[in-house]
Amino acid sequence: MSKVLLLLTGGTISMVQDSRTGALRPADERTFRNSVPELNDVDVDIIAFAPLLDSSDVNPECWAKMATIVYDHYDAYDGFVIAHGTDTMSYSASALSFMLENLQKPVVFTGSQIPVGVLRSDAKENLLTAIEIAGAKDEEGESIVPEVTIYFEDRLFRGNRTTKRNAEHFSAFNSYNYPPLAKAGVHITYQPHLVHYSDPKMPLVLHVECDTNVALIKLFPGITEPVVRSVLATPGLRGVALETFGSGNAPTAEWLTRLLADAVQRGIVIVSKTQCSTGSVEMGRYETSVGLMQAGVLSGYDITTEALVTKLMYLFGECGDDTEKVKTLLQQNLCGEMTLD
Ligand code: ASP
């Protein structure tokens, strides 16, 4: 039987209903175990964040804590499950995909839309399947999906390709630009040809430094010069994720191109990613993206906003003042986060 470490960070999945007041509150480890008695039938140890967090409060220090726990327990377990709130799960999964370089074991994020302690909850289902996936091995005894993933409802996705798409339905996540790595029905059907494998000769490397001097600008018709200027004038700003229209287009207003070019000249790294859920930036396809190219804005291809923001933080944390290295690595597919052609 595979041995799995379950890291409880918080979110709806770790909540129970108070029998007296009816209010939802975070469960402690014992109450959580009692809510999922099936955990006694699998080889799972639990580490719980204290306090458990709503994922709106998860930040880069929390990512570092999660990644460090995986790193410190790496040899003792076959796989890892991280129970996490759904709201920012895609950011955390993206961040950990960069922080755990050369990962050879599964790290499966999961959560739920209804608390574990409520009768109709999706928590048990999600958790138990995530645990099975984290421990799943092929005939050679190798992990089937040695990546950072999100398992939710009946799909396993590469974590850095996901976006939370639904606050109501059980299928809360989607991966618009990359197919699921597995589907769970009566059987779990894996798609090994879609899995990103790290070089087995390389050891796991932990990166915990993140530089949060990044900004996200979403373009919209009518966006004004003072708004863009003030964001780009933010003291210490190093990187910008620029959400552009369609295949990477922007208003052709002279002031916008000038402000972006000036920011690039000052060493700020700007990356264009499309506001569309599906598809990729194609710089130069329309005249309305030529100005961005000339200003020195980079293409984010088909990356998600979550993966781009966390990749910028990770690269600035890792590369320090070497902006050219950051730019080079932004144009590379580091762990399956984007498709280059
Ligand atoms: N607000 C909760 C969280 O993200 C929602 C959830 O877990 O689904 O922590």
Asked if residue 341 has pLDDT above 80, the reply is: no
State residue 303's pLDDT score: 98
Look at residue 293 and give its three-state secondary structure: helix
Burial label, 207 (beta-carbon count in 10 A; 0-12, 13-18, 19+): middle
- Average pLDDT for 57-72: 98
Mutate which of 52, 55, 153 for ligand 1? The one with the most ligand atoms within 8 Å of its CB, which is 55
Residue pair 291/252 in contact by the 8 Å Cβ criterion: yes
Q: Is 274 in the pocket of ligand 1 (CB under 6 A)?
A: no
State residue 118's pLDDT score: 86
Closest alpha carbon to 134 in 2, 1, 32: 2
Asked if residue 188 has pLDDT above 80, the reply is: yes
228-285 pLDDT, tens digit per residue, is 999 999 999 999 999 999 999 999 999 999 999 999 999 999 999 999 999 999 998 8
Q: Is 115 in the pocket of ligand 1 (CB under 6 A)?
A: no
* Tokens standing for residue 306: 């979550």
Q: Whose CA is nearest to atom 1 of ligand 1?
A: 54
- When pLDDT is cut at 50, 70 and 90, the band that residue 27 belongs to is confident
Classify domain 214-330 by CATH architecture: 3-Layer(aba) Sandwich (3.40)
State residue 76's pLDDT score: 98
- H/E stretch holding 273 reads strand 269-274
Contacting residues for 278 by C-beta, under 8 A, at least 6 apart: 176, 177
What is the number of other CB atoms lying within 10 angstroms of the CB of residue 167? 9
262-286 burial code (b ≥16 CB/10 A, e <16):
ebbeeebbbbbbbebeeebbebeee
Contacting residues for 100 by C-beta, under 8 A, at least 6 apart: 67, 70, 71, 107, 148, 204, 205, 206
- Average pLDDT for 296-307: 97
Same CATH fold assignment for domains 3-206 and 214-330: yes
Contacting residues for 232 by C-beta, under 8 A, at least 6 apart: 240, 259, 260, 262, 263, 268
What value does the mean pLDDT of the chain take? 95
Distance CA 139, CA 220 (A): 52
CA of residue 113 to ligand 1 center, whole Å: 8
189-227 pLDDT, tens digit per residue, is 999 999 999 999 999 999 999 999 999 999 999 999 999
Phi-psi label, residue 140: left if phi above 0, alpha if psi -120 to 50, beta otherwise? alpha
72-83 burial code (b ≥16 CB/10 A, e <16):
eebeebbbbbbb
Q: Is 337 in the pocket of ligand 1 (CB under 6 A)?
A: no
Which CATH fold topology does 3-206 show?
Answer: Rossmann fold (3.40.50)
Q: Is 26 in the pocket of ligand 1 (CB under 6 A)?
A: no
CA of residue 55 to ligand 1 center, whole Å: 6
Q: State CA 207 to chain mean position distance.
A: 15
Any idea which of 45-49, 142-146, 216-220, 281-285 has the lowest mean pLDDT? 281-285
Q: Which of 9, 12, 163, 244 is catalytic?
A: 12
Active site residue 12: yes
Asked if residue 316 has pLDDT above 90, the reply is: yes
Residue pair 263/238 in contact by the 8 Å Cβ criterion: no
Residue pair 192/181 in contact by the 8 Å Cβ criterion: no
- H/E stretch holding 214 reads strand 214-218
Distance CA 216, CA 339 (A): 21
What is the number of other CB atoms lying within 10 angstroms of the CB of residue 142? 12
Any idea which of 29-38, 91-100, 147-156, 181-190 has the lowest mean pLDDT? 29-38
pTM of the model: 0.96
Domain ranges of the chain: 3-206, 214-330
CA of residue 289 to ligand 1 center, whole Å: 37
What's at 79, amino acid-wise? G
Asked if residue 158 has pLDDT above 80, the reply is: yes
Q: Whose CA is nearest to atom 3 of ligand 1?
A: 85
Strand partners, 156: 151, 182
- When pLDDT is cut at 50, 70 and 90, the band that residue 28 belongs to is confident
